[in-house]
A = this chain, B = another copy of it.
Amino acid sequence: MSELTVRAVELDAADELAGTRKQFVLDTVSDRAADAAGVYLDGNSLGALPAAVPGRVDDVVRRQWGALRIRSWDESGWWTAPERIGDRIAPLVGAAAGQIVVGDSTSVNVFKALVGAVRLVSGGHGDEARDEILVDATTFPTDGYIAGSAARMTGCTLRPVTPAEVPGALSARTAAVLLNHVDYRTGRLHDLPSLTAAVHAAGAVAVWDLCHSAGALPVGLDEHGVDLAVGCTYKYLNGGPGSPAYVMVARRHQDSVRSPLTGWTGHARPFAMEETYEPAPGIDRMRTGTPSMLSLLALEAALTAFDGVSMNDVRAKSLSLTSFFLDLADEVLVPLGFEPVTPRSPDERGSQVSLRHPSAYGVVQALMARRVIGDYREPDLVRLGFAPLYVRHVDVVVAVSELAAVVAAGEQDDPQYAVRTVVT
| Least CB distance, A244 to chain B, in whole angstroms | 6
User: What would 17 more interface pairs be, CB under 8 Å, given A49-B65, A105-B289?
Assistant: A30-B67, A35-B67, A49-B69, A61-B298, A69-B373, A74-B423, A104-B108, A107-B264, A107-B288, A108-B288, A141-B264, A142-B263, A149-B262, A185-B273, A240-B293, A292-B294, A293-B295
Nearest to A63 among chain B residues (CB) is: B30
Write 23 A-B pairs (CB below 8 A) sorted by A numbering: A25-B66, A35-B68, A49-B62, A54-B58, A54-B61, A54-B66, A70-B373, A108-B261, A111-B260, A137-B275, A141-B267, A141-B273, A144-B277, A145-B264, A145-B267, A153-B260, A232-B290, A241-B290, A242-B293, A244-B292, A272-B378, A292-B294, A294-B298
A416 interface hit (Cβ, 8 Å): no
- Alpha-carbon distance A421/B292, docked complex (angstroms): 21
Of the candidates B153, B232, B234, B292, the one whose C-beta lies within 8 Å of that of A295 is B292
Query: Is the beta-carbon distance between A78 and B241 smaller than 8 angstroms?
Result: yes
**Which residues in B have their C-beta under 8 angstroms from that of A243?**
292, 294
A133 interface hit (Cβ, 8 Å): no
**Which residues in B have their C-beta under 8 angstroms from that of A298?**
61, 294
Interface of A is mostly: mixed
Which A263-320 residues have C-beta < 8 A from chain B? 263-265, 267, 271-275, 277, 288-296, 298
**Which residues in B have their C-beta under 8 angstroms from that of A142?**
263-265, 289
- Alpha-carbon distance A63/B285, docked complex (angstroms): 37
